[in-house]
């Protein structure tokens, strides 16, 4: 008999090894349902596991959002047009939404913090597909040269740059609050000398 921790560790390792499989990508693009995803992933797991345990392990790949980032996003939304463009899936959105509601009282999850959200599984495209950036720009009447896109993937940033969008590479270990404040300070400085 396997302990629950062993099962979840095995599952987490399996997920990490197999996230590049087509069915994982298909779920992020909304081409398969969470139920189909779970069924296909279970084929790779050597122990019986419930959907709840699978979802818990699938969530383990996400990092926790620091409290100060939530406050920062609330403040940014009050002064700037903010949008979320995320390669994600229905399981992550639902579960993360519950966490945000419990911890921060955000009834609509991340949607509360942005003018509009673009989840890859909802729009049927994912970064770095240039069309997902065009969708966001076109639907919201944004000017690429006045838009800043922050991402941790160079590949995603390169696609945005092709459209004339300003980009910032957010690297591991960076503090979002400091990065945003620096970028805002620079913007205000350049506006003042123009």
Query: Which residue numbers in the chain have pLDDT < 70?
Result: 1-23, 189
What is the per-residue pLDDT for 13? 56
Q: What CA–CA distance (Å, rounded) separates 167 from 174?
A: 15
What is the per-residue pLDDT for 7? 44
Looking up tokens 């509360």, which residue turns up? 112
What is the per-residue pLDDT for 1? 41
**DSSP-assigned letters across all residues of 18-67:** HTTSHHHHHHHTTSS-HHHHHHHHHTT-SS---HHHHHHHHHTTSPPPPH
Cβ-count burial 8-39 (b if 16+ within 10 Å, e if not) = bebbbebbeeeeeeebbbbbbbbebebeebbe
What is the per-residue pLDDT for 14? 54
Over residues 146-190, the pLDDT tens digits come to: 999 999 999 999 999 999 999 999 888 888 888 888 888 787 767
What is the per-residue pLDDT for 60? 78
Q: Is 141 exposed, middle or buried (0-12, 13-18, 19+ CB in 10 A)?
A: exposed
Torsion of CA 177, 181, 182, 187, to 10 degrees: 140
What is the per-residue pLDDT for 77? 94
Contact 40, 23 (CB under 8 A): yes
What is the per-residue pLDDT for 124? 95
């Amino acid at each position: 008999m396997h302990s629950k921790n062993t099962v979840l560790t095995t599952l987490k390792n399996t997920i990490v090894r197999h996230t590049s499989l087509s069915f994982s990508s298909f779920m992020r693009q909304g081409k398969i349902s969470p139920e189909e995803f779970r069924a296909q992933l279970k084929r790779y797991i050597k122990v019986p596991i419930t959907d709840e345990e699978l979802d818990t392990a699938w969530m383990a790949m996400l990092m926790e959002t620091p409290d100060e980032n939530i406050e920062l996003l609330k403040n940014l939304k009050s002064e700037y047009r903010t949008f979320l463009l995320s390669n994600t899936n229905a399981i992550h959105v639902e579960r993360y939404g519950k966490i945000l509601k419990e911890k921060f009282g955000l009834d609509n999850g991340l949607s509360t913090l942005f003018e509009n959200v673009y989840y890859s599984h909802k729009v049927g495209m994912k970064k770095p597909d240039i069309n997902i950036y065009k969708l966001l720009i076109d639907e919201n009447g944004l000017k690429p040269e006045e838009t800043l896109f922050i991402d941790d993937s160079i590949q995603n940033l390169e696609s945005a740059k092709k459209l004339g969008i300003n980009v910032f590479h957010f690297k591991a270990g960076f503090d979002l609050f400091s990065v945003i404040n620096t970028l805002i300070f620079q913007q205000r400085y350049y506006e003042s000398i123009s």
